[in-house]
Amino acid sequence: MTLALAMKKVLPNRGTDPEHFLSAFATDLIMTQAIAYNGDLTEYIGYALPGTDKAEGKWLIKKLSYSGTKVTDIQFANGVIQWDQIWNDRAGLSYS
């Protein structure tokens, strides 16, 4: 997915105007978030439109890896920024 297409998905009425670049990534304000932790210092954060079921393939999922209390890596499901993942499958996805 290109940045322009991602911006249209997040802010469909804003187009790809660079003025709205930061707004497109203010996902904590306009998207539902799901957060999961597991015991190996990994955290998953998912974003979707409000009302999206966690079993639907409409999530953007990122994985944060830690060393102690510090984030060492932020990776996206299947190595791309796309809103087509299933939150419930997050642990079995590949990240890069």
Domain tally for the chain? 2
Instruction: Output the pLDDT for position 74.
Output: 93
Query: Is pLDDT larger for residue 65 or for residue 13?
Result: 65
Question: Is residue 93's pLDDT more than 90?
Answer: yes
Q: Are residues 61 and 72 in the same domain?
A: yes
Sequence-distant (≥ 6) Cβ neighbours of residue 96 within 8 angstroms: 75, 76, 78, 79
Q: Are residues 24 and 44 in the same domain?
A: no
Task: Report, as an integer, the average pLDDT of 11-27.
Answer: 47
Q: Are residues 85 and 52 in the same domain?
A: yes
Q: Are residues 20 and 52 in the same domain?
A: no
Instruction: Output the pLDDT for position 9.
Output: 53
Instruction: Write out pLDDT tens, residues 2-14.
Output: 445 554 555 545 4
Q: Are residues 70 and 54 in the same domain?
A: yes
Q: Which domain holds residue 12?
A: 1-29
Rounded Cα gap, residues 30 and 48, in angstroms: 9
